[in-house]
Every structure is written in structure tokens, then in C-alpha cells.
Structure 1
Amino acid sequence: MISFIPMSKLSPEQLVTMWNRGFEGYFSNMTLGVDRFIARAGSEGLSLEHSIAAYDGEEPVGFVMNGFRTIEGKKVAWNGGTGISPSYRGQGHGKLLMQQNVQIYREQGVDIALLEAMSQNEPAIKLYTNTGYHITERLVGLQQTGSLQDVLVQPQAEAEQYSLSKVLPIEVKQVSYYHQMAAWQTQWGSLRDGECLFVTERSGETDEPIGYALFRRNFDAEGNLASIVLFQCEASPDREDAEAIMLAALAQLYMPEQSTCRRIALNLRDSNETLIALLERLGFSRFMEQVHMELRF
């Protein structure tokens, strides 16, 4: 008989064992150790108390991890990971877990539930669709490992037109066109240790930034820059120079002089065609595609 318990009742070792079994054979390597698991749960606001684990006697069957935020006055939940142990797959346990999880959302007064799924993971997308979710957006991951020094050099006229300033990620909330319901890991709430750039006009004709970018720099154990990850880059929707605004932000955040640095753009919305096309012209290539799904209560 399958039983459900809060993940908060499991030891760190049990949590990691369940996570790694649940993602065994997944499209990408999702294996985590205890330290990385705890760090991920903290940075993404995951609640072990309101995440569920399914057991068949003493055997772990699967889990769903949940995070919660209040966005524009609505309680928003995020499915931060659903996994089923290999020996229990294809037996309807995913459906039971999702039904139990939706009940948790109802008890917690959730207004909107979000999740992402790999585009090629058709069984998972079907499971979420049958639970009531629908696809709202396609998401793209891109990467580049070569030199950007030549292609990111701006013409002098453009360099003089825009001013760039670093602000705290939370300050992006004030921008009217900030994407509040973007993929969870690209929201400012998941990037409290990240960075934010505002692009403004030197002429000062508008008080609001005409563009912004949310990103994070990662360093290795010796303090060397290992990667720069872009999460959002937007220009004000009324701007005809949107591409130039985004290029100004990319030229600063991607540090073209760092030739050995890995540059990533993660979970960008595919509808931001100007940004995607710009990154591809800069030598970025797609390595991941996901669907963004939503369930409203």
C-alpha cells in the first residue's frame, strides 16, 4: 500500500537517495549530493514541509517538491521536481502523486501553480496536462564557450546613448514590463545572490529603465570565473531599438574579455525572438528546450 509523508520527516541522506533514484535515467544528469540538495532547496524557496514523498512500505516510490511565493498578491506554487523510482515507473504512481500534490496546493490556498518540463519528456507533459496544467510558453537554454570580444564591441554612438548600472535583483520588481510569472528559477526571488543590470538613456528622457538583465556569475574553488548565466533580458516593449538595448546589457554582463568563461542563457522564453536571435548571432547554440506549464485554481 502506498503511503504519503512530508519530505521534512526524511533525513538528508533519505532525501538525496529519493531525489537521485527519482531522476535516474533522466534526460540530463540530476544527481545531487547532500550539500547541493540543501543549497538548491534554500535558493529556490522549496518547502520540505509541504513537499511529499511516497513509500511502498519501506521502499521509496517517488516525490514532488514544492516552493511557494506571493507574486502580485497571488500565492504561487512551483513544482521543483517530480521523480519516480525506476522500479515503480509506468504503474500510475505519478498520477497519485500529482493528485495528492494538487490537494496540498488547495489546502495552502494556492492561486497559480507553475512547473517546467523537458519538451521531449512527453509522458511527463501528458501527466501534467491530465492533472489540469496547460502549456503557456516554450523555454530555451543556450550556451557559448568561445570568445565574444569582437562581436560584442558596440559602435561608439550606441555606447554613448545608453547608461548601465548594477542594482539589487529585487529592484527589478519596479520595472513595469518585468516578467513576474517567468520560469521560477529566472525570477528575482531565485536570484537573491545574483546580479541585475538596468539600461537607461543617457538623455534621461524616461525615469524607468529601458531594459534590464538578471544574471549570476559562478566561480570555481580558486575564485576564477567559471560561468555567467543569463536568466532574463528584456527591453521596454515600446522601444524600436530593443536589440541595441539588449546588446548593451549583454556586452557588459557577459564580459567578452573572459575567453575561457562558459556563457549560458537559461530558460529564456522562446517568444522573446529578438533576444534569441541576437544570442544565436553571437555564437550561442541551443542545448535545452522546455515547456512552461500553469494550473489556476
Structure 2
Amino acid sequence: MIFKKMSELSADDMVSLWNKGFEGYFINSTLNLDKFLSRTVNEELSLEHSLVVYENSEPIGFVMNGFRVIEGKKVAWNGGTGIAAEHRGKGIGKKLMERNLQLYREQGVDIALLEALIQNEAAKKLYQSVGYDITEQLICLQHTETLDASLLQPNVPSRYVTKRGLPVEVKGLSFYRHLSAWQTQWASIKDGECIIISDEEDEVVGYALFKRVFGEDGKLATIALYQCESIPGRADAVNILKAVLSEVFAPFSSSCKRITMNIIDSNTKLVGLLERLGFTTFVEQVHMIRHL
């Protein structure tokens, strides 16, 4: 068993290995070449520092890695691990993870992140065996009909000031969640937007990171919400979240697809609001962290 860089494979072989690694997975993760390359670029994955494991000169598994510096710490993300079906259950995954952690140390990584589907007990057990801890449960919700705007009316009259901007603008907020799931961090949200909410005293009290996607006909097709937070300790937290969601999900008359990506389930006020709006869960994951 030997390990090589993902970058040593041809593009077609990378895609083939990815699809073999996720064959029979809980959700369909099949990619074509265009989608594989797009994902690699958009999620800042490094082919040079991603690993492929070989047996008898045949690539049989992989782990893809992304790296960025967050608050002075080098953070690595496992952006996909797969073993070809016929080689599963032989301990290869653990050897691959151990070699990957060695690579992280070589790259000076301080914190390692990953997500795993909540029902994937084998993956969770594997990651825990090499030192990862579950820190949060993540949920993805969706809604495909028009929204009832009355459900986002504040409980009491309130005056908030709304500002739209670029995702990077939330980076300096005291309550921004720097170590949220990788794809929900401001640096991952290419072509995205932010909403920042301030109160009457000009204190920033809430924010959201989201993206709007338009179809070929120019019509709004999807709104994806990645983070939505109110500053801790506010009695008007629900009203703050309502104000944020009113901006993110407008126009309410649109029947575009609205989704949330990897929202933490401990944000109960937000999850409750979304469920009352008619959002339903379609994926649940766990967020896992390892300190090196």
C-alpha cells in the first residue's frame, strides 16, 4: 500500500476514483469532470495536498483536502474521503486517515475539520478513532413554495437597519462563527452576499451569509442560506432573526427553491423559525474537529 498526490492522476482518473469511492453512498455524490473541477476550485481543495492510496498499482481510495488560515491558525478541511467498494472493511480507511494527519502536520495545520452524514456510523467511528470529536449537529433544510411573509413579522414593533454587502464583511463581527462548517464560512461563499442588521443604537445585532442563484432565463432559481446568527444575550433575538430572514428570502411571492446548508441545530430559534415557515430537513450531518 502506497500513497501519492491526487495531482499525479489525470483529470479523468480523479473523477473515476471519486465516483468509485462514493459508490453505494447514502446520497448520490456522482460527479462528472466539469462538476468535479468546479467543486475543487470553489471549495479551495488542493490536488497537490490531497492523497490517493494505491494497492498493486491501482488507486483504491482518496482524501481531498482544503487549507486556509483562520484567526492566525492554519485550518484543514477533509473535503471528501472514499474507498472503492471492493476494498472497504479492510482497515484501509484508517491507514489513509493516519497518513492524512501526517500530511497535516507536515503542512503546519493547527485545526482539522470535516463533516459526516449522521447515519454514516462507520465514517464517524473511523474519524473518532484517529482523534476527531463531534462538536455539533448540522441540518440542511429546504422549501420550494412561496413563503408566508406574516410569519416573519416582528412580535413587537422594532426598528432595525439593514445593510447588504460582501461575505467578507462579517469576518470582523464579534459573534461571527469562524469555525463553522467549511462550506458555510465567508471565504467559501463565492458570488455570495451578506446581510448585517443593526439596532437603534447602531450596534450590529445579526448577520447572514447567503447566495442567490439565477437560471438561464434570468429568474431567481435558488436562495441558499449558510449562516444566520443573532448576537448572544439579546431578548429580541427572534425579531433579529426574522429581520434577517425577511431580507435573505425575499421576494416571498417567488416559488424559487430556498435551502439552508449545514445550519447548527443548537441554533434553536433559527431552526424553529424555519420550520414554522414550512422548511423541512433533507440532510443531517455532524461537524467534527481535531486539534493537532
| Normalised-by-shorter TM-score class | over 0.9
Q: Quick check: 2:152–2:242 contact (8 Å CA) kept in 1?
A: no
Whether 2:222 is the aligned partner of 1:227: answer yes
How big is the shift at 1:192? 3.2
Secondary structure, aligned partner of 1:280? helix
- Deviation larger for 212-221 or 174-183: 212-221
Whether 2:79 is the aligned partner of 1:80: answer yes
Give the TM-score normalised by structure 1: 0.94
**For residues 268-294 of structure 1, what are the alpha-carbon distances to aligned partners after superposition, in whole Å with 9 as ceiling and x for unaligned?**
111111101111111111111111101
Whether 2:272 is the aligned partner of 1:277: answer yes
- Aligned CA distance change for structure 1 residues 219 and 213 (closer, same or farther; 3 Å): same
Q: Quick check: 2:197–2:244 contact (8 Å CA) kept in 1?
A: yes
- Aligned CA distance change for structure 1 residues 17 and 214 (closer, same or farther; 3 Å): same
Partner residue in 1 for 2:176: 178
Partner residue in 2 for 1:295: 290
Secondary structure, aligned partner of 1:193? coil
Partner residue in 2 for 1:241: 236
Whether 2:246 is the aligned partner of 1:251: answer yes
Aligned pair partner of 2:207 in 212, 215, 233: 212
Secondary structure, aligned partner of 1:137? strand
Secondary structure, aligned partner of 1:66? strand
How big is the shift at 1:238? 2.3
Q: Quick check: 1:152–1:256 contact (8 Å CA) kept in 2?
A: no
Q: What is the rounded CA distance, in whole Å, between the counterparts of 1:157 and 1:126 in structure 2?
A: 47
Q: What is the rounded CA distance, in whole Å, between the counterparts of 1:186 and 1:167 in structure 2?
A: 16
Q: What is the rounded CA distance, in whole Å, between the counterparts of 2:99 and 2:152 in structure 1?
A: 53
How big is the shift at 1:147? 1.4
- Give matches, 1:1-297, under 5 Å: 2-152=1-151, 154=153, 158=157, 161-201=159-199, 203=200, 205-206=201-202, 208-297=203-292
Q: Which runs of 5+ in 2 are unaligned?
A: none
How many percent of aligned residue pairs carry the same amino acid? Answer: 55
Secondary structure, aligned partner of 1:151? helix
Q: Quick check: 2:135–2:287 contact (8 Å CA) kept in 1?
A: yes
Secondary structure, aligned partner of 1:174? coil
Q: Quick check: 1:152–1:251 contact (8 Å CA) kept in 2?
A: no
Q: Which amino acid aligns with 1:212?
A: Y
Give the TM-score normalised by structure 2: 0.96
Q: Which amino acid aligns with 2:170?
A: V
Runs of 4+ in 1 over 6 A off after TM superposition: none
Q: What is the rounded CA distance, in whole Å, between the counterparts of 2:137 and 2:152 in structure 1?
A: 30
- Aligned CA distance change for structure 1 residues 40 and 175 (closer, same or farther; 3 Å): same
How big is the shift at 1:218? 1.6
Q: Quick check: 1:194–1:215 contact (8 Å CA) kept in 2?
A: yes
- Aligned CA distance change for structure 1 residues 163 and 101 (closer, same or farther; 3 Å): same
Q: Which amino acid aligns with 2:6?
A: M
Q: What is the rounded CA distance, in whole Å, between the counterparts of 1:179 and 1:198 in structure 2?
A: 14
Q: What is the rounded CA distance, in whole Å, between the counterparts of 1:153 and 1:173 in structure 2?
A: 26
Q: Which runs of 5+ in 1 are unaligned?
A: none
Q: What is the rounded CA distance, in whole Å, between the counterparts of 2:235 and 2:216 in structure 1?
A: 43
Q: What is the rounded CA distance, in whole Å, between the counterparts of 2:142 and 2:66 in structure 1?
A: 27
- Deviation larger for 52-61 or 270-279: 52-61
